Amino acid sequence: MKDITRERLSQITTATISYQLLKRGIRDVFMQGIVPLSPGGERLVGEAYTLRYIPVREDPSDLSALGSAANLARRAIEECPAGAILTVDARREVHCGTVGDILVTRLMVRGVAGVVTDGGVRDAEAVREIGLPVYSAGAAAPASPTLHMPVGLQEPISCGGVAVFPGDIIVADGDGCVVVPQALADSIAEDAAAQEEIESFIQKLVAAGRPVIGTYPPTDQIRAEYEVWLKDGSPEITE
């Protein structure tokens, strides 16, 4: 991801990004059932580093394996790159945690950007205080081995009902999480930034009394009006 792309995406809403993706024919990239742990939702942008769980089975499951270097869930915590987002396929199973306060502390220390999981979060209160942006299916106290076994790192996964390939860009805000396919990130970021600029002009028009029909989405005439307004130094709008 180019620096300018990361910068742009960190200031754009998921609503605008989703719209740009829809314009390119891509509908199914907004994660379902995943909400910010902190009310409002701290903004989060980064490349996906993926971890895949399958349902636990009592024969291979072993609590003592949790701390071992071979445990993929633990390796994910240590190997997810700084600036990336730990992205977890937990089969949308909300009834147990997939990360907790100690693991989130480690991710924070390592410079990881945040966590996106379609499973639960343990110690939700403590995790909220740590401050790392976490998006999940909700709080749940049971530890991950209650329902999960880790089986893969950096594989293509399903998360919140959408495809995530390692390296895809995830953007999250109060509305939730959207996946931007890696190859489209630069173009989406550019067009979305432009869209937000003109929409902020439209927002001003509408606040001043302009009807939405003929104004939003912008017609050619509105685009012309916008150019004039920009040239005029963006004067205050009262109608």
Residues in 124-143 at the binding interface with its own copies, rule: CB under 8 A: 124-126, 138-143
Task: Please provide residue 48's backbone torsions phi and psi, each rounded to the nearest 5 degrees.
Answer: -75, 130
Give the up-direction half-sphere exposure of residue 86: CA atoms within 13 A in the CB hemisphere.
31
Long-range CB contacts for residues 107-110, cutoff 8 Å, separation at least 24: 107/77, 107/80, 107/132, 108/132, 110/77, 110/78, 110/80, 110/82
Query: Cα dihedral angle (103, 109, 112, 114), rounded to 10 degrees?
Result: 60
Site stretch for its own copies (CB under 8 A), options 1-9, 80-88, 213-221, 227-235:
213-221
Tokens 């740590």 belong to residue: 130
Q: How far is the CB of 133 from its own copies (least distance, A)?
A: 14
The verdict on 111 binding its own copies (CB under 8 A) reads no
Tokens 């017609």 belong to residue: 219
The verdict on 207 binding its own copies (CB under 8 A) reads yes
Kindly tell me which residue out of 1, 8, 41, 44 binds its own copies, with binding defined by CB under 8 A.
41
Residue closer to its own copies by CB (options 84, 162) is 162
The verdict on 57 binding its own copies (CB under 8 A) reads yes
Pairing of strands 44-55, 169-173: antiparallel
How is residue 232 written in tokens? 């005029």
Tokens 């909400």 belong to residue: 35
Residue closer to its own copies by CB (options 39, 233) is 39
Residue closer to its own copies by CB (options 109, 228) is 109
How is residue 150 written in tokens? 């880790």
The verdict on 209 binding its own copies (CB under 8 A) reads yes
- Cβ(137)–Cβ(129) under 8 Å? no
Kindly tell me which residue out of 1, 8, 9, 17 binds its own copies, with binding defined by CB under 8 A.
17
- Footprint (CB under 8 A) of its own copies, residues 142-181: 142-143, 145-146, 149, 151-152, 155-158, 161-164, 173-176, 178-179, 181
Q: How far is the CB of 85 from its own copies (least distance, A)?
A: 17
Site stretch for its own copies (CB under 8 A), options 3-11, 80-88, 200-208, 230-238:
200-208
Residue closer to its own copies by CB (options 68, 234) is 68
Q: Return the closest-CA partner of residue 196 out of 6, 12, 42.
A: 12
Burial 215-239 (b: 16+ CB within 10 A, else e): bbebeeebeebbeebeeeeeeeeee
- Footprint (CB under 8 A) of its own copies, residues 219-238: 219
The verdict on 87 binding its own copies (CB under 8 A) reads no
Kindly tell me which residue out of 122, 136, 192, 225 binds its own copies, with binding defined by CB under 8 A.
122
